[in-house]
Structures are given as structure tokens and as C-alpha cells.
Amino acid sequence: MTRRLEGRVAIVTGAAAGIGAAIARLYCVEGAYAVIADIDGTAAERAADAIGAQAMPMQLDVTNEADVQRTVAAARERFGRIDILVNNAGIMRKSYVVDMPEAMWRAVLDVNLTATFLCSKAVLPAMIEAKRGRIVNIASIAGKVGEPTASAYSAAKWGVIGFTRSLALEVARHNILVNAICPGPIPTALGEQGWREGALVEGVGLDKVMARVGSRAPLGRLGTVEQVAKMALFVASDDCDFTTGSAFNVDGGIVMT
Ligand code: NAP
């Protein structure tokens, strides 16, 4: 059977854990080479080792433009091309606006939104030269529905969806497709930290928060990293050939509620 990303080169940010690691694994199963780019260099090496020779670990902070440019240059030098960028690295911090330190707001916007701009900007010259490319932005249903205590995260993810649409329009003439994915609740380090912080900020037990999270989706369950990875495979592959500027929900139907 033909593999859907045979020989393609992908940079996946925040790929040492969670959703990013699942995306990098699936891409490599489908024949891609993946740069496992993460702020935790040791964890990136572990994740790359688990995949094997198709994976290359890189330590970077996605909010640092020099780091981002260095990572893209290293990927081009090693593989000669960049076909796919997955802007996946993210952080979640919970606070009511009235209590939120400015530094928290800025950190959440920096990692989730500004870094999406920095990484996209860095790969575009290679993609424009190749006259093809795929940019996959991991947003969130928090970019489509509001949530108390998650205003910074929600604003950032809303921004990611807006950025996706504008960039898609800018680069369509270069045959570069830009799409976003909006996951619902997925039990990863980020998801679990968000639920713990949410319980603390609201002053309720974690069990109460988890009961609410678990019953929020019409499908009545949490999602998995693999479900998000399958959508990220679709938008990076030739199966997705006439779709750009879209934001696909992988959310169990939460957005409809
Ligand atoms: P995760 O398990 O915490 O993985 C995120 C990875 O990004 C971690 O390895 C993290 O490293 C890394 N990272 C954080 N800051 C970084 C930086 N400045 N530079 C480079 N790497 C950085 O989280 P996840 O749940 O898989 O989240 C992946 C994406 O999905 C995020 O954009 C998130 O907003 C989105 N999302 C998640 C959910 C959910 O419920 N899990 C729902 C909707 C959307 P450290 O662990 O060392 O910080």
C-alpha cells in the first residue's frame, strides 16, 4: 500500500509529548521524515529514538526567532526540503482576567500565537521555492467557544484561526495549503494541567471539573491524541488537495453545544 507522506519532510513543534508526538509518529509511519522540535531537548531525543532513523530531534523555543530559524536551516540542510510544518507547541494557563498577571497573558499569546507566525515565516521561503507546502496549525475549540479562566488561551487560539485564514489567502498562489485543527479535551500533560489549574482557580474539586469535562461533548467522552493525528495526516497529505483556510474540529461535537 502506498504510504501517504512517502519521502515528505515535516517539522512538528512541541513533538516530544502529547499530540505533537502522536502526529510525528503517524507521519513517520506514513513515510515522512520528521523533525521533533521541542523546548525539552532530552524529551525530543527520547521521542525521536522511539521513532527511529526517520526522526531528527531539535531543541528549540518556538518563541525565539533565532531558535526557529536555526531549526529550519538544520532541517533543510539534513533533508534538503521542508514539505510540512505543524505548529503544535502550546501552553495553557488558567486565571480569571481580573487576577491575571500580564506576564501570564503574554506567555500564552507568545507560545500559542506568535510562535505560529514565527515558524510559518521561517518555512515559507523553502515552500515558496518548491511551489508546494502544507502548514497545519493546532488551534483548539477554545478558538471557537469562550471559557471562563481561559481568556488568554482562547484569544491565542482564536488568533491562530484568523492567522490560518489570512496566511492561506496569502500563499494559495504558491500552492501552499494552510489549515487549522481544533481539538476538544484530550488527556495530555497540557490538558491535565489545565483541568487542575481550573479546579484551583474556581475553588472546586478536580472531580467536579473532570465530571464537567467528561460530559461536555455530545459524544460523551474525551478525545485521544491519535484522533487529532489522523486529522493532521489528512491535511498534510494529498488527500487534502482543495481545502485551505479551514479549521477542522476534533472535539466530539462540543462546538455545537
Ligand atoms: P503537551 O502534551 O503539553 O505537549 C506540548 C509540547 O510542547 C510539550 O512537549 C512542551 O514542552 C512543548 N512546548 C511548550 N512550550 C514550548 C516552546 N516554547 N517551544 C517548544 N516547545 C514547547 O500538550 P498537548 O495537549 O499535546 O498540546 C499540543 C497542542 O494541542 C497545543 O497547541 C495545545 O494548545 C493544543 N490543544 C490541546 C488540547 C488538549 O486538551 N490536550 C485541546 C486543544 C488544543 P514542555 O512539556 O517541556 O513544556
Task: Identify which of 88, 110, 114, 190 to mutate to test ligand 1's pocket (most ligand atoms within 8 A of the CB).
Answer: 190
What pLDDT digit, counting tens, does each position of 182-240 carry? 999 999 999 999 999 999 999 999 999 999 999 999 999 999 999 999 999 999 999 99
Cα–Cα distance, 206 to 229 (Å, whole number): 28
Q: How many CB atoms lie within 10 A of CB 118?
A: 20
Q: Is residue 186 lining ligand 1, measured as CB closer than 6 Å? A: yes
SS3 of 176, please? strand
Given a cut of 90, whether residue 21 has pLDDT beyond it is yes
C-alpha cell at 108: 500564552
Q: How far is ligand 1, taken at its centre, from the CA of residue 89, in Å?
A: 5
Nearest CA to ligand 1 atom 6: 14
- Does a structural domain hold residue 98? yes
Total domains in the chain come to 1
Alpha-helix runs per DSSP H in 58-150: 65-79, 102-109, 115-130
Q: State CA 179 to chain mean position distance.
A: 11
For the chain, helix (H) and strand (E) counts, in that order, are: 9, 7
Query: At 156, is the pLDDT very low, low, confident or very high (cuts 50, 70, 90)?
Result: very high
Q: Is residue 127 lining ligand 1, measured as CB closer than 6 Å? A: no
Q: Counting atoms of ligand 1 from 1, which one is nearest the CA of 61?
A: 19
The answer to whether 183 and 191 have CB atoms below 8 angstroms apart is no
Q: How far is ligand 1, taken at its centre, from the CA of residue 98, in Å?
A: 25
Is the pTM above the cut of 0.95?
yes
- Does a structural domain hold residue 206? no
The answer to whether 105 and 32 have CB atoms below 8 angstroms apart is no
- Does a structural domain hold residue 26? yes
What pLDDT digit, counting tens, does each position of 34-84 carry? 999 999 999 999 999 999 999 999 999 999 999 999 999 999 999 999 999
Task: Identify which of 136, 188, 226, 228 to mutate to test ligand 1's pocket (most ligand atoms within 8 A of the CB).
Answer: 188
Averaged over 159-180, what is the pLDDT? Answer: 99
Cα–Cα distance, 176 to 163 (Å, whole number): 14
Q: Is residue 244 lining ligand 1, measured as CB closer than 6 Å? A: no
**How many residues can be counted in the chain?**
257
Q: What are the residues whose beta carbons fall under 8 Å from the beta carbon of 28, sequence distance 6 or more?
A: 34, 51, 52, 54, 55
Q: Is residue 14 lining ligand 1, measured as CB closer than 6 Å? A: yes
Q: State CA 57 to chain mean position distance.
A: 17
pLDDT of residue 194: 97
- The set of catalytic residues is 153
- Does a structural domain hold residue 190? no
What percent of the chain shows pLDDT beyond 70?
A: 100
Q: Is residue 191 lining ligand 1, measured as CB closer than 6 Å? A: yes
Q: Is residue 17 lining ligand 1, measured as CB closer than 6 Å? A: yes
- Does a structural domain hold residue 198? no
Cα–Cα distance, 199 to 210 (Å, whole number): 9
Q: How far is ligand 1, taken at its centre, from the CA of residue 92, in Å?
A: 8
For residue 96, what is the domain's CATH number?
A: 3.40.50.720
DSSP code of residue 89: -
- Does a structural domain hold residue 196? no
Q: How far is ligand 1, taken at its centre, from the CA of residue 90, in Å?
A: 4
CA torsion angle 92 95 100 102 (round to 10): 0
In terms of residue numbers, what domain contains 157?
9-184+224-249
Q: Is residue 185 lining ligand 1, measured as CB closer than 6 Å? A: yes
Averaged over 128-133, what is the pLDDT? Answer: 98
Q: How far is ligand 1, taken at its centre, from the CA of residue 194, in Å?
A: 11
- Does a structural domain hold residue 142? yes
Q: What are the residues whose beta carbons fall under 8 Å from the beta carbon of 213, sequence distance 6 or more?
A: 185, 195, 222
- Does a structural domain hold residue 219? no
What pLDDT digit, counting tens, does each position of 137-150 carry? 999 999 999 999 99
**CA 218, 187, 144, 87 torsion-angle sign:** negative
pLDDT of residue 1: 79
What percent of the chain shows pLDDT beyond 90?
A: 100
